[in-house]
Chains A and B, each alone.
Chain A
Amino acid sequence: MSSIGTGYDLSVTTFSPDGRVFQIEYAAKAVDNSGTVIGIKCKDGIVLGVEKLIASKMMLPGSNRRIHSVHRHSGMAVAGLAADGRQIVARAKSEATNYQSVYGEPIPVKELAERVASYVHLCTLYWWLRPFGCGIILGGYDRDGPQLYMVEPSGISYRYFGAAIGKGKQAAKT
Chain B
Amino acid sequence: MDLEMNLNAPHSMGTTIIGVTYNGGVVLGADSRTSTGMYVANRASDKITQLTDNVYVCRSGSAADSQIVSDYVRYFLHQHTIQLGQSATSKVAANLIRLLSYNNKNMLETGLIVGGWDKYEGGKIYAIPLGGTLIEQPFAIGGSGSSYLYGFFDQAWKEGMTKDEAEQLVVKAVSLAIARDGASGGVVRTVIINSEGVTRNFYPGDKLQLWHEELEPQNSLLDLLNSSSPEPMNI
Contacts and interface: CB of A to CB of B under 8 A. Distances in A.
Contacts of A105: 89, 91-92, 95
A108 B83 CA distance: 11
A110 B86 CA distance: 12
Contacts of A104: 91-92, 94-96, 98, 134
Nearest to B80: A103
Contacts of B80: 103
Contacts of B99: 102
B84 interface: yes
Contacts of B91: 104-105
A111 to B, nearest CB: 7
Interface in A62-90: none
A147 to B, nearest CB: 13
Nearest to B95: A104
Interface string A108-143: 101100100000000000000000000000000001
A111 B82 CA distance: 11
B83 A103 contact: no
Interface string A96-108: 0000001111001
A114 B83 CA distance: 10
Given A108-B84, A111-B83, A111-B84, A103 B95 contact: yes
A17 to B, nearest CB: 37
Interface string B75-109: 00000100111000101101110110000000000
B120 A143 contact: yes
A120 B120 CA distance: 32
A109 to B, nearest CB: 12
Contact of B96 (A102, A108, A114, A143): A102
B92 A103 contact: yes
A161 to B, nearest CB: 20
Contacts of A110: 85
A105 B134 CA distance: 14
Nearest to A100: B95
A17 B175 CA distance: 75
Nearest to B92: A103
Contacts of B120: 143
Contacts of B83: 111, 114
Nearest to A115: B83
A12 to B, nearest CB: 27
A110 B84 CA distance: 8
Contacts of A111: 83-84
Nearest to A104: B95
Interface of B: 80, 83-85, 89, 91-92, 94-96, 98-99, 120, 134
| Nearest 4 interchain pairs by C-beta | A104-B95, A103-B92, A143-B120, A104-B91
Given A104-B98, A108-B84, 15 more contacts: A102-B96, A102-B99, A103-B80, A103-B92, A103-B95, A103-B96, A104-B91, A104-B94, A104-B96, A105-B89, A105-B95, A110-B85, A111-B83, A111-B84, A114-B83
7 contacts: A102-B99, A103-B92, A103-B96, A104-B92, A110-B85, A114-B83, A143-B120
